[in-house]
A and B are shown apart, each in its own frame.
Chain A
Amino acid sequence: MAQIPDFLAKEDELGISLPLLFESRGYKKYRMSKFEEYSFYSDNRKFLTDDGVIAFNNADGRLMALKPDITLSIVKNAKLSEKLTRLYYNESVFRISNAAKDFREIKQCGIEVLGDIDSYITSEVILLAAKSLEMIDRNYSVSVSHNDIVLSLIDDCDISIADRKRLAGCIGGKNTHDFRRICRECGISDETADKITSLFTIDMPINDAIGRIEALVDTEKTVNALNELKTLCKTLSACGIADKINIDLSVTQHIDYYNGIVFRGYVEKAPAAVLSGGRYDLLARKIRDNIGAIGFAVYLDNLNLYYRKTREYDTDILIINKDSGNTDKLISLANGFCSEGKSVCVEREKPDSYRCRATYIFENGELTEEEKC
């Protein structure tokens, strides 16, 4: 992989290194327009976060949206090859933050695979997720789950959509006390509530987790989901990253869209997940005929804040130009420093608070080094 210059901010660094990683596995860049018809997003509103969509009228009077999501757009617009399409993107999405009530541009870099998704593809995607996180911070963790294990048990209970949403909220927050209370209010038996609680509080390394889940699942759907999880875990262990993977069954994604393995990625210095992904055949099939889909996005915004790089020097060399001519010679001298791999800046006067390894004065066609700054 190419050497990334050290001075780049984390976000810029990842904007180069992640595409290189994805290209190395045969993913092709997908570039998209920033605009899409608003109706497309309003039809798939539930797939988006609670944040609002920025809408406006174009010159023809059509209601347009600044792209609030990339996955939806790729599923709708990408030209698919016969068997499998591997794509990556490095784009911004635009949303109205419900909390701050202002417009936000969120930079994302990620992959989408569309077509016949098998266990190899699933493992490849999660391995790429792990490698992406490692590029941010060697101290990373991937929380893997299967959407069908916990959510299918809730689906088996005869409850309203509103109560289902309340219970899903408790699962995501590892909130057992309110989960049990809501179950009692909905007439779900203590036995079922205990079983689901025991499942969604599982958040542990692969080997410990699989045994625990095995003892708790018995329906066809949950057993199939566990088997899928086991196959994945076996591959990830063989790849030597088992210590970076946690089975965390509180990780769930919207059940109308996601139908299999789902995952989130954390790095030590960021307070929230910086990567999110999963299998979303159900969404893909709402838009395209009979295809499977899996992918993830890395959220690049704020990484510069958590992984701040401080530069010791503005440039290696500062040349103070006190000459009125000799421009050719000055440029040649500056080029000389650059060809030695040094950064150089030429100024008429030394700027305030300028930091450099060495300062030179250029006067009467001669370059002389000043004392260290």
Chain B
Amino acid sequence: MLNIALPKGRLGDKVYNLLANIGYDCSEIYDDNRKLIFRNEKSGVCYLLVKPSDVAIYIAHGAADIGIVGKDILEEDKLDLYELLDLKLGKCNMCVAAPENYIEDLDRPLRVATKFTNIAKNYYLSLNREIEIIKLNGSIEIAPLLGLSDVIVDIVETGTTLRENHLKVYETIMPISARLIANKSSYKFKNAEILDLVTKLEKELAEND
């Protein structure tokens, strides 16, 4: 039995459809209830629906064998896992964004508002730029508009939210997409089952491409 941690929400739905197409279906998942664990003995899978930012934690602690998670979470948490596939779903970019008329003042530390504090720290460390992190949990875009920060570090998908708040992408840090991850111990002891799923998934992704 493979335990698969799926992120709740749109990405999880897309990934579930992908997995169901290659034989890992569990129709019960569509039932209108509040269950979070769905098991299908016939397809040999047990799906766990968890908060997207918690998927990697479930995998690292062995509560699930494999899971699907955004690259942003992996870069932020840096857990000891295998990252087996880029599913090329949920594509976006981790960016530095700033007000449209922003001019950087290099004479003082940069104030950066973000919920991705580790990504921001590592990025500016690589540039040898002194920063002051302002950790926020949502509505990051309003921080520079209210003078709380100079720039923000956040995920940008279409750029609509930025434009509507008179911000623009200032720098792109890295591309983001959904990744298939595995627990290192599960990879050793459920190797055949995991490799079988990876092979089928790779084939399905190639056909969809």
Partner-B contacts on A (CB < 8 A): 139, 141, 143, 162, 170, 173-175, 177-178, 203, 246, 250, 266-268, 270-273
Contact = CB atoms under 8 A, between A and B. Distances in A.
A246 B189 CA distance: 11
B83 A271 contact: no
Nearest to B126: A162
Given A174-B82, A174-B84, A270 B62 contact: yes
A141 B82 contact: no
Contacts of B62: 270-272
Contacts of B80: 272
9 contacts: A139-B189, A170-B83, A177-B85, A246-B188, A266-B184, A266-B188, A266-B189, A270-B62, A271-B60
Among A268, A270, A272, A273, the one with the most B-chain Cβ atoms within 10 Å of its Cβ is: A272
Given A139-B189, A268-B185, A270-B185, A173 B82 contact: yes
Pairs of residues from A and B, 3 with the lowest C-beta to C-beta distance, nearest first: A271-B62, A177-B86, A175-B83
Contacts of B82: 173-175, 250
Contacts of B200: none
B183 interface: yes
A267 B186 CA distance: 10
B51 interface: no
A174 B62 CA distance: 18
Contacts of A250: 82
Contacts of B85: 177
B132 to A, nearest CB: 19
B10 to A, nearest CB: 22
Interface in B166-186: 183-186
Interface string B52-72: 000000001110000000000
A170 B71 CA distance: 13
Contacts of A273: 184-185
Contact of B188 (A143, A173, A175): A143
Contact of A174 (B83, B86, B185, B189): B83
A173 B183 contact: no
Interface residues of B, number: 19
A272 B185 contact: yes
Nearest to B77: A99
Contacts of B186: 271
B184 to A, nearest CB: 6
Contacts of B187: 203
Contacts of B126: 162
A266 B185 contact: yes
Contacts of A141: 188-189
A170 B126 CA distance: 18
Contacts of A170: 83
A234 B118 CA distance: 45
A218 B126 CA distance: 35
Nearest to A162: B126
A94 B32 CA distance: 49
B81 interface: yes
B188 A271 contact: no
B118 to A, nearest CB: 10
A284 B187 CA distance: 33
Contacts of A178: 83, 86
A87 B61 CA distance: 32
Interface in B182-208: 183-189, 191
A272 B186 CA distance: 9
B188 A272 contact: no
A173 B183 CA distance: 10
Given A141-B188, A272-B62, 6 more contacts: A139-B189, A173-B82, A175-B82, A178-B86, A203-B187, A268-B189
Contacts of B184: 266, 271-273
A92 B84 CA distance: 34
A163 B183 CA distance: 25
B45 to A, nearest CB: 19
Contact of B185 (A173, A177, A203, A271): A271
B183 A271 contact: yes
A9 B60 CA distance: 24
A203 to B, nearest CB: 8
A173 B83 contact: yes
Nearest to A175: B83
Among A139, A177, A267, the one with the most B-chain Cβ atoms within 10 Å of its Cβ is: A177
Contacts of B84: 174-175
A266 B189 CA distance: 9
B81 A173 contact: yes
Contacts of B185: 266-268, 270-273
Contacts of A143: 188
Interface string B111-153: 0000000000000001000000000000000000000000000
Nearest to A271: B62
A246 to B, nearest CB: 7
A139 B191 CA distance: 14
Contacts of A203: 187, 191
Interface string B77-102: 00011111110000000000000000
Nearest to A273: B184
Contacts of A175: 82-84
